[in-house]
Structure 1
Amino acid sequence: MLRAVGAAALAVLLAACTGAPAPAPPDLRKFTAQKLTWSPCGDGLDCAHLTVPLDYAAPDGKTVTVGLLRHKEAKQRIGSLVVDPGGPGASGTALAASLAKSPAAAPLRDRFDLVGFDPRGVGTSEPRITCRSDAELDADRATDTESDMSPEGVKKQLAETTAYGAKCVEATKYGKEFLANVGTRDVVRDLDVLRAALGDEKLTYLGYSYGTQIGAAYAEAYPRNVRAMVLDGAIDPAQGLVESLVTQAAGFQDALDEFGKWCAARGDCALGRDPARTTDAFQRLARPLIAKPAPAGARHLSFEDAVTGTFGGLYSRGDWTALNNALAQLAEGNGRTLLAFADDYYQRDPDGHYSGAIDAYFAVRCVDHARVTDRAEIDRAHEKMVAGAPFLAGGTPDTSELDICSTWPVAPTSAEHAPHAPGLPKPLVVSTTHDPATPYQQGVDLAKDLGGHLLTYEGVQHTVFLQGNACVDRAGVAYLLDGTLPATARC
């Protein structure tokens, strides 16, 4: 099947075919030549803000800022290593601060300044995407409106998602104008301004999860500005919103099945000793929460949060013992630990404050994908998700994403397509065989589309580089230092 051509590439092709001149790129020299003002921000780290146009089509208009954090102590400096952890909505400054302390990243700190950036609208960037208050998000999580698929339930959901979009417009500075310019298209432009402001002729980049989508889009837009690029936990930019959600649901089912095999070998498995019945056992624990949430300290655990908490526990095999304990606790009528998993997933701190990552997630996803408005298609997507991930039966948090994007107040700014980046140095794409959030095949497809080297990690977790696997870490570090691609294809 032919994949869609990217909008920018299509514009160039049309100009070539018609003889019309391609539009001149905007003059961004006042942004690319800016001098970053770094200030100490604790633990030997420096922070700054990068000024960029709110709308690249109007570079002389309003500006916004991108939050930065740097660890600088390279002895034989190659340049900057720019990092992003994904999301959308996750903080690159937080990732850089973490890598500044990581033993696995020590060889990189010797040769690179580590630079994390918070994509526009996220974290320390200003303005921030803001939609719901902490109390509103708590209240939304505590109910399971997505479980009601009756015509009345669907009508109520659409009314709620329309109101949600309106709140985002009202609560976010510059409203629709900003929300229309928060997608990957604009983050990539910010990233190239950052590269220039850092004084790097070419970009060295490490992206995880959604950070791989940023990396792939940058590679397509600026292939000759890339020095090296590691993309771990890859997203396939050719997947539409429905396909990406269906594929991810199946990925979490696969991870739950692997968890069931591991758990069944234990004497204390909360889901029983028969791995073939893992899904049934999970459903027996979770489905009653639709009608009666479980006590969880001063709060309650809903079905939605039970699913989300389980998602969070499946991200890394290192969390499986704690996830088993949380499910065993739920079997006794206590949802506290599984709710803590969900809180971590939603980035809710112990004081009840949210980071804003979830609102940013929806804002970016809704402008990065073609809009799906046909109710029948949304219903079929829900059916496919549950068919591929039966442990979700009864309701799923991801149903709301389709509804939110169907009523989003601004139009998409990107279209799904296979990336094409002639002249790009070979990137290193790392893909894990049982990655729940970005299933393995997506990395296979991205490596093929970008002409990159695929490094397969045999395991069950979401992303792996610089997380303690010696084989993957050696390969990634050597590649970033001198461009040497690994001789091996598997770790």
Structure 2
Amino acid sequence: MFFRRAALVLLCTTALVTVVSPSNLVSAADATTDDIMWLPCGAIECATISVPVHKGLDSNARISVGLYKRKAVTGSSPRTLLLLPDREYGSDARTLAEKAVLTFGTAITKFNVISVSPRGAAGTVMPAGSDTAIGTLDMVDDLEAVRSALHVKKVSIIGWGSGATVATAWIMQNPSVVQAAVLDSPIDPSTSLVKQSQKNIAATALGVETAMKWCASHLACPMNANVAQELQLLKTNIRLERVGAGVTFESVARAAARTIVAGNPQELFVAIATANTGNSKPLLALAGDAPTALQAYGRCADVSRADAKKIAKANAAVKPHKFTIGAESQLYAMCAQVTESARPLGTVKPSNAAKDARVLVTIARGDQVIAPSVVRAMAKRLKWKYSPVYANRHLIVGYDNATTVAAMKFLAN
């Protein structure tokens, strides 16, 4: 009898210890009240949230927005941090979540990180017939739906490129839901995209000139002896069809967008030098395929058809000194073939409260895609902190260590 009682006491004690054991306590990171069903995805968690294709319209069409989560592992009251990737450059949403600590350091472990896949990306596939409903303002609605489903009053944000533009438009219209934001190279959703495009064209031309100067000043560049002469030789070889089929002025511009824009001009100049000596394969590999209407949807969703025509015409009229970067004239010209945007940018009216928002705006001074002058003017007008970086590339947070550290410190305060 004694042994039966002793065993019973021991069993109860063990159960009590199990209940109150620190390893079984629910952490602040786990104590979420969201309505989203998270499933294991390797080192992170994945989920989707269903949102209407067109908010406020009588339609049953819905899409599933992809979400990728990394829970906070330090701190007692973690904030929610949304990561908003660019549609075209940099890492995708899932990669941002998976490599968050590697990219941002241990400071990010204090946040519940939610990386949001933009409309039209692999994680947020659009239904047939709604392929072009991927505009900035549509994605602003998606972010509000995500915040609501997470049951948090405020979120922090890091956005890049088009993702930063989405965040900018959201903060302009509803700043009260944002704790703090770091915006890397956004366009200004409150001013004319036609006017911005003229400045972007100038930034691209400066980017080409800067890349040529870099080559001329670095012995490692194979065209170091005479960059202009080598580029002129390429132009001659293209006209006389002495290079491989597919090497055109347009393909060189696409190759530049994949190298110079990523801060790696060396790769482009090596490929050009190789093409001039008879092997065009490296240059063609960098160029990739010609742009398609599918790739134009993101641009077309943010401009009227008339404005798209103006932007395409302005880019087509450029007479580059040696070469240019990107395929803007071709992509914007394709807007004539797709459904016209119902919610173009340039019409967003910032609320007065937006000037009180905690926002850090950054961009590389040598950005070849977005004109720093546009970003600076927007930040100044809204009284947001503006912190440009001496670099020659597009997108800077996560690529420049000092900028990344400063961004995380800004969000943590």
TM-score of Structure 1 vs Structure 2, range by shorter chain: 0.7 to 0.9
SS in 2 for 1:204: strand
| In the alignment, structure 1 residue 326 sits paired with structure 2 residue 257 | no
What corresponds to 1:401 in structure 2? 331
Contact conserved, 1:120 with 1:126, CA < 8 A, in 2?
A: yes
Alignment partner of 1:316 is 2:283:
no
Residues 418 and 211 (structure 1 numbering): CA distance in 2 closer, same or farther, change over 3 Å?
Answer: same
Asked whether the 8 Å contact 2:168–2:186 carries over to 1, the reply is no
Q: Which moved more, 1:72-81 or 1:433-442?
A: 72-81
2:370 equivalent to 1:413: no
Rate the CA distance shift 1:79–1:293 in 2: closer, same or farther, 3 A. farther
Per the alignment, do residues 461 and 411 of structure 1 end up closer, same or farther by CA in structure 2, a change over 3 Å counting?
Answer: closer
Larger mean Cα displacement after TM superposition, 358-367 or 118-127 = 358-367
Preserved CA contact (<8 Å) 1:89 1:361: no
Give deviations 1:397-454, integer Å, cap 9, x for gaps: 3222232113322344224147523223131000221111112112202212332000
- Sort the Cα spacing of 1:290 and 1:418 in 2 relative to 1 into closer, same or farther, 3 A: farther
User: Cα distance 1:259–1:60, how it changes in 2: closer, same or farther (>3 A)?
Assistant: closer
1:481 has 2:403 as partner: no
Per the TM alignment, residue 218 of structure 1 is displaced from its structure 2 partner at its CA by 0.6
Matches within 5 A, 1:238-277: 238=190, 240-267=192-219, 269-274=221-226
Superposed counterparts of 1:69-84, under 5 Å: 69-76=68-75, 77-84=77-84
Distance 1:378 1:205, change over 3 A: closer
Counterpart residue identity of residue 78, structure 2: I
Higher relative contact order (CA 8 A, sep 6+): 1
**Which 10-residue stretch deviates more, 92-101 or 370-379?**
370-379
Relative to structure 1, the CA distance from residue 390 to residue 427 in structure 2 (aligned partners, 3 Å threshold; closer, same or farther) is: same
Please, what TM-score do these two structures have when normalized by structure 2? 0.81
Aligned in 2, Cα 1:306/1:59: closer, same or farther, shift over 3 Å? Answer: same
What is the alpha-carbon distance in structure 2 between the residues aligned to residue 34 and residue 358 of structure 1? Answer: 39
- Residue identity over aligned pairs, in percent, reads 21
Give the drift of 1:238.
4.5
3-state DSSP of counterpart to 2:410? helix
Q: Deviation string for 1:220-254 (max 9, x for gaps)? A: 22111111110011212255444444433332321
Secondary structure of the structure 2 residue equivalent to 1:368:
coil
**2:123 counterpart of 1:124:** yes
The equivalent residue for 1:157 is none
Q: Which has the larger radius of gyration?
A: 2
| Aligned mates of 1:312, 1:230 — CA distance in 2 | 24
Separation in structure 2 between the aligned mates of residue 241 and residue 448 of structure 1, nearest angstrom: 18
- TM-score scaled to structure 1, two decimals? 0.69
Please tell me the residue identity of whatever aligns with 1:183.
G
Aligned length: 378
| CA RMSD between the two structures | 3.1
Query: Post-superposition shift, 1:91?
Result: 6.6
Unaligned segments of structure 2, at least 5 residues: 1-32
Alpha-carbon distance change, 69 to 454 in structure 1, aligned in 2, over 3 angstroms: same
Q: Can you list the C-alpha shifts for 1:242-287, whole angstroms capped at 9, x where unaligned?
A: 444443333232122222222112345444435xx64x64243146
CA contact (8 A) 1:420 1:449 kept: no
Instruction: After TM superposition, list the pairs within 5 Å mapping 1:4-403 onto structure 2.
Output: 35-42=35-42, 44-58=43-57, 61-76=60-75, 77-87=77-87, 92-97=92-97, 99-108=99-108, 110-127=109-126, 173-175=127-129, 178-179=130-131, 181-238=133-190, 240-267=192-219, 269-274=221-226, 278=228, 281-286=230-235, 288-289=237-238, 292=241, 294-295=243-244, 300-317=246-263, 319-343=264-288, 361-372=295-306, 379=313, 381-383=315-317, 385-386=318-319, 389-392=320-323, 397-403=327-333
Q: Which runs of 5+ in 1 are unaligned?
A: 1-32, 128-172, 349-356, 483-491
* Correspondence 1:427 to 2:359: yes
| 2:410 maps to 1:464 | no
